[in-house]
Chains A and B, each alone.
Chain A
Amino acid sequence: MALNYTKKTLKHFLKPHNVGSINKPDGYAQIGNMVCGDQLDFFLKVEKGKIKDVKFLSFGCASNIATASILTEKVKGLSIAAAKEYNWQKIVDELGGLPNQKIHCSVMAVEGLKKAIADYEKKGDKKKLLKPKTTTKPIKKDIKKVSKKRTKIAKK
Chain B
Amino acid sequence: MKVYLDNAATTRLDPRVFTKIKPYFSEKYANASSIHLPGQEAYLDLQKAKQSVAKTFRGEANNVIFTSGATEANNFIIKGVALANRGKGNKIIISALEHPCVRESANELARDGFKVVVVEADKEGIITPEALRKVIDRETILVSIMAVNNEIGTIQDLTALSKITHEYGAYFHTDATQGIPYLDFDIKKMGLDFLSMSAHKINGPKGVGVAYINRQIKIRPLIIGGGQEDGYRAGTYNLPGIVGLAYALELAYKERKTYLKKVKFLRDRLLKGIKKEIPEVKINGSLDSRIEANLNVMFGYVEGEAILIDLSSKGICVSTGSACSASNLKASYVLSAIGLEKHFLNSNIRFSLGRFNTVAEIDYTIKCLKNTVSRLRKFSPIK
Footprint of B on A, CB under 8 Å? Answer: 1, 3, 5, 10, 13-14, 16, 19-20, 30, 34-41, 56-65, 101-102, 132, 134, 136, 138, 147, 150-151, 154
Contacts and interface: CB of A to CB of B under 8 A. Distances in A.
A119 to B, nearest CB: 15
A147 B309 CA distance: 23
Given A13-B306, A62-B305, A64-B303, A34 B324 contact: no
User: Which of B309, B310, B342, B343 has the most C-beta atoms of chain A within 10 angstroms of its own C-beta?
Assistant: B309
B342 A134 contact: no
7 contacts: A34-B346, A39-B382, A58-B380, A60-B324, A61-B325, A147-B329, A154-B328
B383 interface: yes
Given A57-B381, A62-B305, 18 more contacts: A10-B313, A13-B306, A34-B382, A37-B303, A37-B305, A37-B324, A58-B380, A59-B301, A59-B382, A60-B306, A61-B324, A61-B325, A62-B309, A64-B303, A64-B306, A64-B324, A134-B383, A151-B329
B117 interface: no
Contacts of A102: 324
Q: What is the interface of chain B mostly: helix, strand, loop, or mixed?
A: loop
Interface residues of B, number: 28
A39 B381 CA distance: 8
A65 B323 CA distance: 15
B210 interface: no
A60 B377 CA distance: 11
B155 interface: no
A150 B330 CA distance: 11
Given A19-B378, A64-B324, A59 B345 contact: no
B127 interface: no
Contacts of B382: 34, 39, 59, 134, 136
A16 B378 CA distance: 12
B303 to A, nearest CB: 5
Nearest to A55: B379
B180 to A, nearest CB: 25
B216 interface: no
Given A35-B343, A36-B323, A16 B306 contact: no
A20 B324 contact: no
A1 B303 contact: no
A30 B309 contact: no
Contacts of A59: 301-303, 380-382
A1 B325 contact: yes
Contacts of A138: 342-343
B313 A57 contact: no
A102 B327 CA distance: 10
Contacts of B302: 59
